[in-house]
């Protein structure tokens, strides 16, 4: 299932959504972690970024998806909650469920202040302001134990192994995008990746 607020998929993106759902369904560890987050019943809550992206990049390189490494990025949305303390408490709750995971929880209802953006309208909307299109992807359990996918820029770049800046990072924040490429060392870990300098649509983010 695709999140209706994420993007309007074309046929190719619908196929990729099914591919991504199948990839996650075949990964017991990621399913277990998704279930842990789902058990908290947070509003508009997803696991995003490298948790999803890295699994796809491993798959594209013919590898079994590696266990999630680094932070597991949990995003949720409550615009009336402006304190970071709520995120810290959720991290503690998740740590109690699985202390082996480095949980990172961010309420996207408050992150626009730190990022210098206009207020976000949802967790999916907030991902439009993330650095790379391939990182702006999330998943969660849906009704009936299916998986729901959110991807405001679609899934084509992710499945084409393209690292592309989002419109917000093509000009004003380009230095941050370039710094991430160096810091993350993605091209060494996944040599089939290629960097595309231009954003899909400069007008898609005000």
89 CB-near residues (< 8 Å, 6+ apart): none
For the chain, percent of residues with pLDDT exceeding 70: 87
Q: What is this structure's pTM?
A: 0.86
From the number of C-beta atoms within 10 Å of its C-beta (0-12, 13-18, 19+), residue 153 rates as buried
Distance CA 35, CA 117 (A): 31
> Is residue 11's pLDDT more than 70?
no
Band (pLDDT 50/70/90 cuts) for residue 24 is very high
Pick from 2-16, 28-42, 66-80, 164-178 the range whose average pLDDT is largest: 28-42
> Model confidence over 38-73: pLDDT tens digits?
999 999 999 999 999 999 999 999 999 888 877 899
**What is the model's pLDDT at position 65?**
87
Residues 115-168: tens digit of each pLDDT: 778 889 999 999 999 999 999 999 999 877 689 999 999 999 999 999 999 988
pLDDT digits (tens, 9 = 90+) for 80-121: 988 899 999 999 999 999 999 999 999 999 988 787 788 899
> Are the C-beta atoms of 140 and 148 separated by less than 8 Å?
yes
Per-residue pLDDT, 199: 52
Write out the E strands in the chain.
46-48, 71-76, 102-107, 138-141, 147-150, 162-163, 194-195
Q: Is the confidence at residue 201, as pLDDT, over 80?
A: no
Domain spans in the chain, listed from the N-terminal domain onward = 11-196
pLDDT for the residue numbered 33: 97
Rounded to the nearest angstrom, the gap between the alpha carbon of residue 184 and the centroid of all alpha carbons in its chain is 16
């Amino acid at each position: 299932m695709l999140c209706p607020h994420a993007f309007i998929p074309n046929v190719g993106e619908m196929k990729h959504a099914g591919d991504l759902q199948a990839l996650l369904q075949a990964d017991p560890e990621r399913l277990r972690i998704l279930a842990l987050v789902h058990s908290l019943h947070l509003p508009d809550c997803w696991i995003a970024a490298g948790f999803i992206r890295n699994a796809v990049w491993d798959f594209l390189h013919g590898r079994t998806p590696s266990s999630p490494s680094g932070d597991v990025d949990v995003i949720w949305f409550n615009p009336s909650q402006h304190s970071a303390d709520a995120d810290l408490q959720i991290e503690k709750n998740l740590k109690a469920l699985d202390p082996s995971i480095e949980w990172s929880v961010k309420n996207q209802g408050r992150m626009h202040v730190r990022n210098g953006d206009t207020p976000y309208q949802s967790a999916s909307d907030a991902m439009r302001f993330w650095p790379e299109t391939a990182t702006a992807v999330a998943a969660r359990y849906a009704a009936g134990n299916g998986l729901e996918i959110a991807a405001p820029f679609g899934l084509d770049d992710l499945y084409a192994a393209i690292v592309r800046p989002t419109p917000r990072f093509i000009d004003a924040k380009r230095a941050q995008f370039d710094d991430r490429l160096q810091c993350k060392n993605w091209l060494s870990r996944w040599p089939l990746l290629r960097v595309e300098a231009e954003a899909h649509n400069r007008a898609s983010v005000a």
